[in-house]
Structure 1
């Protein structure tokens, strides 16, 4: 499970566009913390610290310990607004995580044992349909990633959600179908050979 990162924030007494613009001029990013049946709190984050965290990836699926006036609060980012041209962060929404609650997150998929995959050894190509899976998970135990073992897959095999062992308490939000996560696609040379063989078989059968 993902470890919570510590993020220091400062109180922002005034809300509104004017206050937000003033904070951004000072190198700060406005944010709001809400949820857990508590009143929303407006805060600011140092822009350089937030950018460094964003560059690690997986921001919206990672838990944070917000430190405000010496007190810690476990949160999950739910939305981030970026400048449309520069991608500089403009605003962040954080959801407080209460014990026993569940949240919906996009969890990245990691593939293991590609070197041991028969299909890839034969020249097949790993075709990733979903790089992330949307899951309903316990707020206290958000998976950092979902690992999928490729060691037993051959050409034309596929990985469906029903074949993936998810961490305890985690469920896919898509429940009406057994969706595909990845496939081992046949190389073009193999497809050509199979196509040629099929044509020969059909031609031979017509002569009988």
Structure 2
């Protein structure tokens, strides 16, 4: 494993106009997630930095290929896109090899769709304990960690609500409560595909979808 990292990522976070006020920049952390073992830090996790008050950020000690991604302390805001040198690199690694990478822009939006609803048993009665998995139709979007795969659990009213998914074509399924991270495994998702219900989520849409609990 390499221990010398001499390059930096610099950029800023911006908010699209939305139905809720922008949150303080200090509630956003931007990380650089290595995509290979040699580029990973000694602790195995992504390299992170705190935001400056003006929305600019810098991540140091980078090498190899990394994906830039934010961690947002608000359910109202989610990632829309990441650009570098005018190109969309939201899901694409950036190589830190010969120089620093400046001008990265992380765009947050409050207009990503929401999906909510109830889960019913075979007799149409509400179920109070369950897990809802929503995942993109396109299996190329299942690579961990993916913005296109989400897990929902019941709230105090026995309903689920999932936020932060980008607009796309999805599949949704309700299962017994999950205690593992299998829902992030592409092979597990492939096994659910034929039983899941299709749903299209559009920008800014609040969609309701009631699901039948599938017994495994």
The TM tier, using the shorter chain, reads under 0.3
Q: Give the TM-score, by structure 1 length.
A: 0.26
- Structure holding more helix per residue: 1
Q: Whose RCO is larger (CA < 8 A, sep 6+)?
A: 2
Point out the structure with the larger strand share: 2
